[in-house]
A and B are shown apart, each in its own frame.
Chain A
Amino acid sequence: MPDDEEFRESLRAFLKEHAPGRAPKGAAERLAFAKAWAATKYDHGFAGPAWPREAGGMGLPFEQQVIYQVEMARYRLPAMPGTGWEMVGPTIIKYGTPEQKEKYLRATLRADIVWAQGFSEPEAGSDLPGLRTTARRDGDHYVVNGQKVWNTNAEKADMLFVLVRTGTQEARQKGISYLLIDAHAPGVTVRPIRDITGGEHFCEIFFDEVRVPVSQRVGEENDGWRIARTTLGHERSAGALNQAAFYRRIVDELIALARERGAVADTGVRRRLADFDVRVRVMNAHAARTIASIVATGEPGPTSSVSRLYNSVFEQELHEFAVELLGPFGLLGRGDPDTVQRGRWTGGWLATRASTIGAGTAEIQRNTIAEQLLGLPRDPAMPPRP
Chain B
Amino acid sequence: MDIGFTSEQEELRAVLRAFLDDHADRRGLLDSDTCHDAKLWRRMATEIGVQGLAVPEEYGGAGFGAAEMCVVFEELGRALAGAPMLATAGLAAAALLACGDEDAKAEFLPGIADGSTIATLALVEAEGAWETDAVHTRARRSDGGHVIDGAKYFVLDGVLADLVLVTVRTEEGTALFAVSGDAAGLVRRAHEAVDPTRGMARLDFASVPARLLSSDPSVVETALDQARIALAAEQAGGAQWCLETAVAYAKTRHQFGRPIGSFQAVKHRCADMMVAVEAARSAAYLAALTAHDNADELAIAATSAQICCSRAYTEVAAGTIQIHGGIGFTWEHDAHLYYKRAKTDELLFGSPDWHRDRLARLTGIAPPKTIEGGVSA
Tell me whether A350 is interfacial, beta carbon within 8 Å.
no
Chain B residues 263 to 304 lying within 8 A of chain A, measured CB to CB, are: 263-264, 266-268, 270-272, 274-275, 278-279, 281-283, 285-286, 304
Chain A residues, CB < 8 A from B189: none
Do the beta carbons of A277 and B282 come within 8 Å of each other?
no
Do the beta carbons of B279 and A310 come within 8 Å of each other?
yes
Chain B residues, CB < 8 A from A255: 365
Q: What is the bound-complex CA distance between A32 and B143, given in angstroms? A: 86
Do the beta carbons of B356 and A271 come within 8 Å of each other?
yes
Tell me whether B131 is interfacial, beta carbon within 8 Å.
no
Do the beta carbons of A271 and B304 come within 8 Å of each other?
no
The segment from A132-140, A142-150, A178-186, A365-373 found at the interface with B is A365-373
Do the beta carbons of A289 and B3 come within 8 Å of each other?
yes
A270: which of B3, B270, B285, B356 is its contact (CB, 8 Å)? B356
A 351-386 to B, binary, CB cutoff 8 A, 1 in contact else 0: 000000000000101110111011111111000000
Q: A286-B278, A310-B275 are in contact. Are A363 and B268 (CB under 8 A)?
A: yes
B271: which of A295, A303, A369 is its contact (CB, 8 Å)? A369
Report, as a range, how many residues of chain A touch the other chain.
Answer: 35 or more
Do the beta carbons of A306 and B268 come within 8 Å of each other?
no
Q: A274-B360, A309-B275, A376-B250 are in contact. Are A282 and B365 (CB under 8 A)?
A: no
Chain A residues, CB < 8 A from B267: 366-367, 370-371, 376
Number of chain B residues close to chain A: CB under 8 A: 45
Chain B residues 331 to 377 lying within 8 A of chain A, measured CB to CB, are: 353, 355-357, 359-360, 363, 365-367, 370-372
Do the beta carbons of A380 and B262 come within 8 Å of each other?
yes
Chain A residues 250 to 278 lying within 8 A of chain B, measured CB to CB, are: 255, 258-259, 262, 264-265, 267, 270-271, 273-275, 277-278
Do the beta carbons of B262 and A282 come within 8 Å of each other?
no
Do the beta carbons of B4 and A296 come within 8 Å of each other?
yes
Tell me whether A281 is interfacial, beta carbon within 8 Å.
yes
* A261 nearest CB across to chain B (Å): 12
Tell me whether B258 is interfacial, beta carbon within 8 Å.
yes
* B168 nearest CB across to chain A (Å): 31
Tell me whether B200 is interfacial, beta carbon within 8 Å.
no
Q: What is the bound-complex CA distance between A271 and B282, given in angstroms? A: 21
Tell me whether A292 is interfacial, beta carbon within 8 Å.
yes
Q: A282-B308, A377-B251 are in contact. Are A306 and B283 (CB under 8 A)?
A: no
Chain B residues, CB < 8 A from A380: 258, 262
* A173 nearest CB across to chain B (Å): 21
10 tightest Cβ-Cβ pairs between the two chains A and B: A292-B4, A285-B282, A366-B271, A285-B286, A264-B366, A376-B261, A369-B271, A271-B356, A274-B356, A370-B267
Some 12 contacts from A to B, beta carbons below 8 A apart, are: A259-B366, A259-B367, A267-B372, A274-B363, A277-B363, A282-B286, A286-B282, A289-B285, A369-B271, A370-B274, A371-B267, A374-B271
